[in-house]
């Protein structure tokens, strides 16, 4: 870790000197060029335009579905804006993108933030490390203007990775965490909290609609809920604790048999997870009930059997949420069918599951920070 701190000091003390020069240059350019007023306005307004829907201010932001595994959306950082594709992740609270200093292979295949080219960039010496299921990153905390569509957060703290282990081949440059602030490894205010505190959102909620098969159509919305994306009423589920998007599950059944959560368990509602994850022993049981055969890291079934497979039913706050075979079976690049159940890597003393995109494609989800609850309803 020492080399990291050193890198922070050397690299970033250098750019502290360079920033003022850059700023002067940018100002001159915009003055002689165009839209200086616009730039200034953009930096200072929290939001410039709003989409109104049924009396509420909503920002509906498109996400791209990459093979039903990952959903990524565009955001920008800096002045002038630099674009990144990030995963909007309810399972974590930190926001980071690769830095120009990162030469890990995962960084060189993704867009890296060129901090010297941003006039609004501010560095710090604060380093952090985050361990995800998919890998680990090390980085430094910085500040700059961040935009998610028409939502603008000025002087937003975020992470710049200087080393990444894992994350290779992913379509996403970085991760934008939407979990509660006290889950933050970098101990900085998440972008949603900053926007909320500054009154940039009409309601402190966000929601996800995740499309199936198609690349287009998925959205994350901020500041309200667009009712066109779900059927019927939202069922509200209180959080286990007001510091994490985790809820109680009454029971998990298959073929009328309680197969898990017989004595209640918890589940994290995690847009950054592709699959449904559970304790190893119980996931083995599910694979067996489905009749899936292990090959490599996955469990396969015959594609012709998909429509005859039993639904797995999550009962949450007294409501049944069935997940049919056609939802929990995914196709690999060679067209073979595998199950979307995974063993959790981290063992916990109590039974806990992760409801990832497999579940969230079926159920539109609302994350309500005002009432510390999650709303679920069948997706359109
Ligand atoms: C929408 O935003 C505008 C401007 O920020 C505000 O005046 C209005 O009250 C908001 N509407 C709702 C329903 O929150
Ligand atoms: C992100 O931006 C790129 C080009 O900058 C565009 O091709 C792509 O469609 C955008 N993605 C989404 C989900 O809007
Ligand atoms: C990354 O770059 C730095 C200097 O630019 C160098 O010292 C370091 O060895 C490089 N690391 C890797 C993993 O290539
Ligand atoms: C980084 O640390 C050095 C040495 O402690 C200090 O002089 C410098 O002001 C710090 N820079 C920032 C941006 O905090
Ligand atoms: C997390 O934050 C919430 C509200 O901001 C607070 O009620 C809760 O006690 C905090 N939890 C921890 C572990 O700090």
Delineate the domains of the chain, giving CATH numbers in brackets: 2-7+21-26+53-222 (2.40.70.10), 230-378 (2.40.70.10)
- Identify whether 270 is a catalytic site residue: yes
What does the alpha-carbon distance between residue 233 and residue 9 come to, in Å, rounded to a whole number?
53
Question: Which residue among 49, 152, 202, 222 has the greatest number of ligand 1 atoms within 8 angstroms of its CB, and so is best to mutate?
Answer: 202
Q: What's the CA-to-centroid distance between 242 and ligand 5, angstroms? A: 6
Q: DSSP label at 99? A: B
pLDDT at 56: 59
The one-digit pLDDT tens for each residue of the chain (380 residues) are 333 333 333 333 322 222 222 232 233 333 333 344 344 333 333 333 333 344 457 999 999 999 889 999 999 999 999 999 999 999 999 999 999 999 899 899 999 999 999 999 999 999 999 988 778 999 999 999 999 999 999 999 999 999 999 877 778 999 999 999 999 999 999 999 999 999 999 999 999 999 998 899 999 999 999 999 999 999 999 999 999 999 999 999 999 999 998 888 999 999 999 999 999 999 999 999 999 999 998 999 999 999 999 999 999 999 999 999 999 999 998 999 999 999 988 778 899 999 999 999 999 999 999 999 999 999 99
Return the ligand number nearest the Cα of 6. 4
Q: What's the CA-to-centroid distance between 7 and ligand 4, angstroms? A: 12
User: At 183, phi and psi to the nearest 5?
Assistant: -95, 5
- Our answer on whether the CB atom of 125 is closer than 6 Å to any ligand 4 atom is yes
Which residue(s) pair with 99 in the sheet?
113
Question: Which residue among 243, 244, 246, 372 has the greatest number of ligand 5 atoms within 8 angstroms of its CB, and so is best to mutate?
Answer: 243
pLDDT at 31: 32
Return the ligand number nearest the Cα of 369. 5
Q: What's the CA-to-centroid distance between 111 and ligand 4, angstroms? A: 27
Of the candidates 118, 75, 114, the one whose C-alpha atom is nearest the C-alpha of residue 95 is 75
Q: What's the CA-to-centroid distance between 124 and ligand 5, angstroms? A: 26
The atom number, within ligand 2, closest to the CA of 63 reads 13
Catalytic residue, chosen from 89, 150, 244, 357, is 89
Q: What is the pTM of this model?
A: 0.83
Return the ligand number nearest the Cα of 219. 2
Q: What's the CA-to-centroid distance between 135 and ligand 4, angstroms? A: 29
Q: What residue owns the CA closest to ligand 4's atom 10?
A: 125
pLDDT at 170: 77
Tell me the C-alpha to C-alpha distance, in Å, between residue 142 and each of 61, 123, 380. 24, 5, 39
- Residues 6 or more apart in contact with residue 35 via CB below 8 angstroms: none
Q: What residue owns the CA closest to ligand 2's atom 10?
A: 74
- Residues 6 or more apart in contact with residue 99 via CB below 8 angstroms: 107, 112, 113, 115, 139, 140, 160, 161, 162
Q: What residue owns the CA closest to ligand 5's atom 8?
A: 243
What does the alpha-carbon distance between residue 139 and residue 164 come to, in Å, rounded to a whole number?
9
- Our answer on whether the CB atom of 63 is closer than 6 Å to any ligand 2 atom is yes
- Identify whether 89 is a catalytic site residue: yes
């Amino acid at each position: 870790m020492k080399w990291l701190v050193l890198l922070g000091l050397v690299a970033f003390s250098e750019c502290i000197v360079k920033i003022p020069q850059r700023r002067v240059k940018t100002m001159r350019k915009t003055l002689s060029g165009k839209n200086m007023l616009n730039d200034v306005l953009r930096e200072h307004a929290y939001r410039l335009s709003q989409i109104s829907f049924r009396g509420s201010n909503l920002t509906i932001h498109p996400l791209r579905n990459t093979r039903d595994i990952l959903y990524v959306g565009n955001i920008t950082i800096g002045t002038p804006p630099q674009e990144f594709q990030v995963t909007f992740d309810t399972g974590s609270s930190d926001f980071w993108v690769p830095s120009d200093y990162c030469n890990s292979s995962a960084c060189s295949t993704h867009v890296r933030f060129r901090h010297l080219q941003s006039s609004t960039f501010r560095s710090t010496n604060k380093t952090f490390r985050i361990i995800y299921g998919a890998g680990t990153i090390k980085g430094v905390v910085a500040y700059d203007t961040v935009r998610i569509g028409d939502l603008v957060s000025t002087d937003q703290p975020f992470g710049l990775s200087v080393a990444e282990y894992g994350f290779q081949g992913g379509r996403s440059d970085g991760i934008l965490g939407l979990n509660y602030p006290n889950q933050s490894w970098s101990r900085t205010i998440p972008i949603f909290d900053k926007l909320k505190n500054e009154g940039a959102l009409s309601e402190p909620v966000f929601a996800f609609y995740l499309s199936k098969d198609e690349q287009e159509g998925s959205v994350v919305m901020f500041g309200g809920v667009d009712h066109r994306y779900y059927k019927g009423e939202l069922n509200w589920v209180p959080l286990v604790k007001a510091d994490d998007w985790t809820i109680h599950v009454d029971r998990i059944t298959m073929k009328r048999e309680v197969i898990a959560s017989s004595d209640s368990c918890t589940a994290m509602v995690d847009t950054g997870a592709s699959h449904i994850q559970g304790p190893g022993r119980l996931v083995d049981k599910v694979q067996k009930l489905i009749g899936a055969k292990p090959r490599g890291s996955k469990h396969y079934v015959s594609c012709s059997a998909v429509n005859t497979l039993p639904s797995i039913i999550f009962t949450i706050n007294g409501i049944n949420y069935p997940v049919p075979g056609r939802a929990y079976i995914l196709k690999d690049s060679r067209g073979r069918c595998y199950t979307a159940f995974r063993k959790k890597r981290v063992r916990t003393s109590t039974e806990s599951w992760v409801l990832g995109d497999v579940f969230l494609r079926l159920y539109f989800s609302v994350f309500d920070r005002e009432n510390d609850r999650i709303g679920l309803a069948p997706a359109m």
